[in-house]
Amino acid sequence: MKLSTAFGTVAAVPDAVAVFLFEDEVRSPRLPSLNRATVSEIGKLIAASKFAGKKEEVLRHYTDRAISPMLILVGLGARKEFQWKTLRLAAGAAIRMGRDHGAKSMALVSEDKLADDLGAEDVTHALAEGVILGNWRFDEYRKIAPKDVKELNSVTIYFVNETRKKAADRVIKRHIEIARCTNLARHWGSQPANVVNTEFLAREARKLSAKGLKVTVLERAQMQKLGMNLLLAVSKGSAMPPKLIIMDWNPRGAKKTYAFVGKGLVFDSGGLNIKVASMEEMKSDMCGAAAVLAAMNGVAELKPNVRVIGVIGTVENAIGPDAYRPSDIYTGYNGKTVEIGNTDAEGRLVLADALAYTVDKYKLDGLVDLATLTGAAVVALGHFADAIFSNDEHWRQTVMAAGERAGERQWHMPLFDEYGEEMKGEVAQLRNVPGHRWGGSCTAAAFLKEFVGTTPWVHIDIAPTAFPGVVSSIQPKATASGSGVRTILELVTGKD
Ligand code: BES
Ligand code: ZN
Ligand code: ZN
């Protein structure tokens, strides 16, 4: 699907025109991008229908008296409560309505006061993201007959004048790329583990070397030599080879270096402490890895002037004759000994070695890990925000500011020393679970902290939002959300 910008009045006849309207101004909208006949038709439609411009309200109408045969009105709610995220959802609702009713080309028209309030850049951000995320589907296994496939070929965003179009054009490429990368992460995160296995992730990473990234994949034997026994322990019950994938974007003249580490459990059965509920959702336990891999795709395309390192620890947590067991003790890459209290607390073990390796090999200005780490984070926050932990206040604020700009929600959680005390082992230095289940996302974060030294580090537990995403006009049901991708790419390619 081609997404472009234009200015002036909608001239070429698109299959559908979508208009975004505020509740307060629904009876007298200013729509300079539409010809008189179309504006008049919209006026009559609003008068005749009960369309009130409420948030998430969508109306479809067919006519032969306007520039397009299909008019779609989308409500934005009250102007004083308006946030740009509302426009993102409205764009998703608009293009789905058009696409699902056979439109192949669409024009999106926002009344000009919207761009007065938000600025053409933010309007573009919201509309581009809403269109691309809203258009995404996970239907490759449904075997839809080609004649029944409903597909948009082109969407054009109209601005009232050339100045605004130019402002939009300065930012649209970046927003399109970020949204596409989010869809990539959604695609991988929605796939089962018999498709997206550890080798699949390594293959996808290797593809990035053609785009200028240095990609290294550490195999089991190399990790054994390096002493990554925590990551390797988790992989012991599975026939799938464990891997540590390292992707390095190192442009000449880069002054800062950032690293992103993702939990890549292609499936988490729980191991010998086998899961008793919702095991099937654990195909999504590689969403942290998917976010890092997709973001590195974005880095390869957007070429920021900073060094960006993406690291993925990928394994399967399964059961087999050699599976690791509760009470086992392993020594990690950084020399710390860990006793296993529960084989289902495996993500922190994989991340422990991945993080320790990353801080050992690179001098970092900032480190972020992303992981579907704990059910406790979901208990704490529901599906509406990810849990963020940090050892460095300034870096946390920087990451959260990027999250805010990207329209992803993170909630600051504590890392009190007491949580760390609870992760001390009975016989080893550390244990992978405390003696109780309270504050489970905090104790997990405290465990990770033992492996990052003094590097400014942020841990984002994306279990709340990664899978399934909250269903909306930009998120289909029972699919991964791609959470984290936009925050990472905003952080390394956005303003600051
Ligand atoms: N992958 C899970 C966490 C998870 C749970 C993610 C639900 C998304 C939705 C993780 O490996 C896990 O099993 N954590 C345990 C830790 C416990 C054994 C201390 C949990 O959260 O129950
Ligand atoms: Zn687990
Ligand atoms: Zn897990």
Residue 112 pLDDT > 90: no
Please tell me if the CB atom of residue 440 comes closer than 6 angstroms to any atom of ligand 1.
yes
Catalytic residue among 60, 275, 325, 336: 275
Type and span of the H or E element at 461: strand 457-461
Catalytic residue among 348, 396, 431, 486: 348
Range of weakest confidence among 102-116, 267-281, 459-473, 481-495: 102-116
> Burial level of 383, CB count in 10 A (0-12/13-18/19+)?
middle
Strand segments, DSSP code E, in 76-222 are: 105-110, 154-159, 214-218
Average pLDDT over residues 73-89: 95
How many whole angstroms separate alpha carbon 295 and alpha carbon 137? 20
Q: Starting at the edge strand that comes first in sequence, how are the strands of the sheet with 329-331 ordered?
A: 329-331, 337-339, 430-431
Mean pLDDT score across all residues of the chain: 96
The alpha carbon of 374 and the centre of ligand 1 are apart by a number of angstroms equal to 4
Q: Which token pair is 480?
A: 């991964």
Judge whether 252 counts as a catalytic residue. Answer: no
- Residue 484 · residue 256 · CB < 8 Å: no
The alpha carbon of 230 and the centre of ligand 3 are apart by a number of angstroms equal to 14
Residue 218: the pLDDT is 99
Distances (CA, A) of 169 to 3, 33, 112, 173, 174: 11, 18, 17, 7, 10
Average pLDDT over residues 12-33: 92
Residue 260: the pLDDT is 99
12 by DSSP, 3-state: which?
Answer: coil
Judge whether 348 counts as a catalytic residue. Answer: yes
| Tens of pLDDT, residues 166-179 | 999 999 999 999 99
The alpha carbon of 2 and the centre of ligand 2 are apart by a number of angstroms equal to 41
CA of 284, closest atom in ligand 1: 8
Q: Which token pair is 363?
A: 């001098």
Residue 116: the pLDDT is 82
Residue 114: the pLDDT is 83
* 70-75 and 58-62 strand pairing: antiparallel
278, 317, 373: residue to mutate for ligand 1 pocket, most atoms within 8 A of CB: 373
| Tens of pLDDT, residues 261-318 | 999 999 999 999 999 999 999 999 999 999 999 999 999 999 999 999 999 999 999 9
| Ligand found nearest the CA of 467 | 1
Residue 432 pLDDT > 80: yes
Q: Whose CA is nearest to atom 13 of ligand 1?
A: 344
Q: Whose CA is nearest to atom 7 of ligand 1?
A: 375
Count of beta carbons in the 10 Å neighbourhood of residue 30: 13
Highest mean pLDDT among 12-26, 146-160, 300-314 belongs to 300-314
Residue 29: the pLDDT is 84
Res. 390 pLDDT band, cuts 50 70 90: very high
Residue 28 pLDDT > 90: no
* 386-390 and 410-412 strand pairing: parallel
Average pLDDT over residues 359-377: 98
Please tell me if the CB atom of residue 463 comes closer than 6 angstroms to any atom of ligand 1.
yes
CA of 372, closest atom in ligand 1: 6
Res. 110 pLDDT band, cuts 50 70 90: confident
Name every residue whose Cβ is closer than 8 Å to that of residue 336 and which is 6 or more positions away in sequence.
352, 429, 430, 450, 451
230, 280, 374, 423: residue to mutate for ligand 1 pocket, most atoms within 8 A of CB: 374
Q: What is the dihedral of CA 76, 80, 84, 89, to 10 degrees?
A: -30
Average pLDDT over residues 105-123: 87
Rg over alpha carbons for the chain, rounded to the nearest Å, is 24
Type and span of the H or E element at 327: none
Residue 330 pLDDT > 60: yes
Average pLDDT over residues 36-61: 95
Res. 117 pLDDT band, cuts 50 70 90: confident
- Residue 218 · residue 244 · CB < 8 Å: yes
Residue type (1 letter), 397:
Q
pTM: 0.98
Tally the C-alpha atoms within 13 A of residue 453's C-alpha that lie toward its C-beta. 19
Please tell me if the CB atom of residue 347 comes closer than 6 angstroms to any atom of ligand 1.
yes
Quick one: DSSP state of residue 142?
S
371 by DSSP, 3-state: which?
Answer: strand
Q: Judge if the upstream peptide bond of residue 468 is cis by omega within 30 degrees of 0.
A: yes
Residue 93: the pLDDT is 98
Res. 388 pLDDT band, cuts 50 70 90: very high
Express as a percent the part of the chain with pLDDT over 90: 93
The alpha carbon of 269 and the centre of ligand 2 are apart by a number of angstroms equal to 7
How many whole angstroms separate alpha carbon 469 and alpha carbon 473? 11
Average pLDDT over residues 193-216: 98
